[in-house]
Amino acid sequence: MAMSRDLSEWLPRIVAAIEEWEDSYGAFTPFPRSGAGGHEALIDEYLGRLTGDMYPFFHPHYAGQMLKPPHQIAVLGYLAAMLINPNNHALDGGPATGRMEKEVVADLAQMVGFGSDLGHLTSSGTIANLEALWVGRRERPGMAIAVSADAHYTHTRTAEVLGIDAVVIPTDRHGRMSVAVLEEVLRTGRIGTVVATLGTTGLGAVDPLDQIIPIARAHGARVHVDAAYGGFFRILADDLGDAGPAFMAIADADSIVIDPHKHGLQPYGCGAVLFADPAVGRHYSHDSPYTYFTSDELHLGEISLECSRAGASAAAFWLTTRAFPLTREGLGTFLSPCLSAARTFHGLLETDPNLRSAQPPDLDIVCYLTRRDSMSAIDQDTARIFDELTHAPARDQVHLATYGMQADSLAERGITATEDQNSARILRSVFMKPEHDSAIPEIHSRISQAAARSMTL
């Protein structure tokens, strides 16, 4: 594979550069790193387990969860920094990687349209959202958050952690937050922060942020954007149809979360949180008698709930964004094929005699189901298709995910099925690798044939 070739070419150069840096500080006697017999057998066992019990996230036939390998240059950047092991909590823990982090955060802020900003990388989108909602609580004490019914499940859990209420807003037939219901809830005066999702993790739906912001402002509520999955698609806002205005409206929000470990080509875990108003940094006020002493510059730990954070994440993201800037011509070249793949797959489903799409994709996630007339039959087909394609011989496998939908949610989308059970599993595919685009005809063919076999049972 290309990644193996790139790594084998560059790893010796990375190791040599780190060794030269180490040698510049003078010789010393290192502590023995291995036992008497070395670790050869253990490494062999480890590699056997790693490759013998893992899904092929790298392959276009894997279209299940939101998983793909990082780009080769991100791996190289991470490995090089990991050999040093900087901690980006304070500049003393990683001067170079701390400054790289500030640079890439500024790039993210420019990408989303924030004129000035405060932000940093995090270990995950969950932590990033926790931090944004924590700031929201400090800004609107005692008030609730509003989230859509299709928002990530961690928002209601985070609200519980923060000791605030979460009001769930139903979605429309596109899986987007209902603006009409949101406005009714905002009139109660209970809501301090509205959470809009740009790229729900189920359907990949994009909440109408451009409509949400003026309504929230009219009722004194903050707006936080959970764009952990979809945030980088702002680069391609002009290509997103009626979801495009939502991405352009990010510039008017109060905060945003984006996960570079999803569409930013990075390894797990690398999230990011940004605030439009740097003044919210006052909520982080704290002091450490031994940490912030090397510089009068702002230390990242002074604006973060997390303490220790991998400087290697910042280094990898910095290197990647220098190779592929956050522009249409840079990172956008990896995103456009994903949009194309999802749209092509949806189009094939529209004329498929066995399968149908649940709704047109906003981004690169497609949900679909067999053309059956009962909820139980749809559910059974989904289970059989998933099982057959997952357990086929390696070269014939197609890896999918499932998504639970209620009968009334399908009916809203013009899909009627006898309600002999309340909900049914349908199929879900995440086409987040550019390699998916050229593989869509084959992927569709295999799934459709499996559906045909299931429907004869």
* Pair (352, 241) in one structural domain: no
Is the predicted pLDDT of residue 148 greater than 60, yes or no?
yes
Question: Same structural domain for residues 309 and 448?
Answer: no
* pLDDT tens digits for range 381-414: 999 999 999 999 999 999 999 999 999 999 999 9
Look at residue 41 and tell me if it is in a domain.
no
For residue 9, is it within any domain?
A: no
| Number of domains comprising the chain | 2
Q: Is 100 contained in some domain?
A: yes
Q: 38-52, 201-215, 251-265, 418-432: lowest mean pLDDT where?
A: 38-52
- Tell me what percent of the residues of the chain surpass a pLDDT of 70: 95
Listed range (127-141, 269-283, 413-427) with the worst mean pLDDT: 269-283
Q: In this structure, are 178 and 209 located in the same domain?
A: yes
Model confidence at 1, pLDDT cuts 50, 70, 90, reads: very low
Residue 198 lies in a domain: yes
Q: Are residues 387 and 242 in the same domain?
A: no
Residue 287 has pLDDT above 60, yes or no: no
- When comparing pLDDT for 5 and 61, which is higher? 61
Residue 48 lies in a domain: no
**159-172 average pLDDT score:** 97
pLDDT reported for residue 289: 47
The average pLDDT across 226-246 equals 98
**Is residue 153 domain-shared with residue 290, that is, in the same domain?**
yes
192 and 125 in a common domain: yes
Compute the distance between CA of residue 106 and CA of residue 234 in angstroms, rounded to an integer.
Answer: 15
Do 319 and 343 have their domain in common? no
The chain-wide mean pLDDT, for the chain, equals 93
Co-location of 127 and 221 in the same domain: yes
Q: Has residue 57 been placed in a domain? A: no
Last residue of a domain, one of 297, 323, 349: 323
Query: What pLDDT was estimated at residue 3?
Result: 55
- Tell me what pLDDT residue 35 has: 64
Residue 290 has pLDDT above 60, yes or no: no
Looking at the fold, whether 304 and 344 belong to one and the same domain comes out as no
Would 61 be classed as within a structural domain?
no
Could you say which of 294, 323, 352 is where a domain stops?
323
Give pLDDT, residue 283: 87
Determine, yes or no, domain membership for 415: yes
Q: Reply yes or no on whether the pLDDT at 295 is more than 70.
A: no
From the list 324, 303, 306, 264, the residue with the least C-alpha distance to 102 is 303
Q: Are residues 337 and 431 in the same domain?
A: yes
Residues 211 and 344 in one domain: no
Average pLDDT over residues 158-178: 97
Average the pLDDT over 257-285 and give the result.
93
Contacts of 32 (CB under 8 A, 6+ apart): none
Domain of 102, CATH number, reads 3.40.640.10
pLDDT at position 437 over 70? yes
* Range 95-115 average pLDDT: 95
274, 294, 323 — which closes off a domain?
Answer: 323
CATH of the domain at 390: 3.90.1150.10
pLDDT score of 292? 43
Domain hosting residue 125, numbered range: 82-323
Q: Write down the pTM of the prediction.
A: 0.94
Each residue's pLDDT tens digit, 108-137: 999 999 987 789 999 999 999 999 999 999
Q: Could you tell me if 194 and 299 lie in one domain?
A: yes
Looking at residue 297, its pLDDT comes to 58
